[in-house]
Amino acid sequence: MNKKDAFQYAVDAYSNKDYKTAHKMFLPLAEQEDSDAQCYLGWIYANGQGVPQDYKEAVRLFRLSAEQGVVEAQYNLGLMYEKGKGVSQDYASAHMWFNLSGSNGNKDAIEVRNLLEKKMTPSQLEKAQEMARNWKPKK
């Protein structure tokens, strides 16, 4: 089975709530740096779907995907930082990832970022904006 077919098979399994099969199919693709598979796999770990819930692994996978520019992974990574799941709570990092996701078209990320700003100090906000300006995708 080629990579494209394997990915579609995994997505179909996930859509049908066959999380064990989805995990098994996404894993080798994620290891081959498929950013979309990494994002799906992050979601599987974040939600404990067919695997034990593992926020640290979810963050690791979301980061790999987000650093390659996947908008959903950037948003999900922002949520993990905002809530302190798998990482220390860090509003500046959360804001940066929401900002990047939003600037790539995710309207939900913009809304969440704007709500988060109300909880942030001016220095946190300044740091977040500087991090977003200096961010560059890995691929």
- Tell me the pTM: 0.94
Residue 6 neighbours by CB under 8 Å, 6+ apart: 25, 28, 29
Q: Tokens for 73, please give them.
A: 């992974």
* Res 138: pLDDT: 83
CA angle 92, 95, 101 (to 5 degrees): 145
Q: One digit per residue, pLDDT tens: the chain, 139 residues?
A: 899 999 999 999 999 999 999 999 999 999 999 999 999 999 999 999 999 999 999 999 999 999 999 999 999 999 999 999 999 999 999 999 999 999 999 999 999 999 999 999 999 999 999 999 999 888 6
Separation of alpha carbons 110 and 107, rounded Å:
5
Separation of alpha carbons 58 and 48, rounded Å:
10
Coil, strand or helix at 90? coil
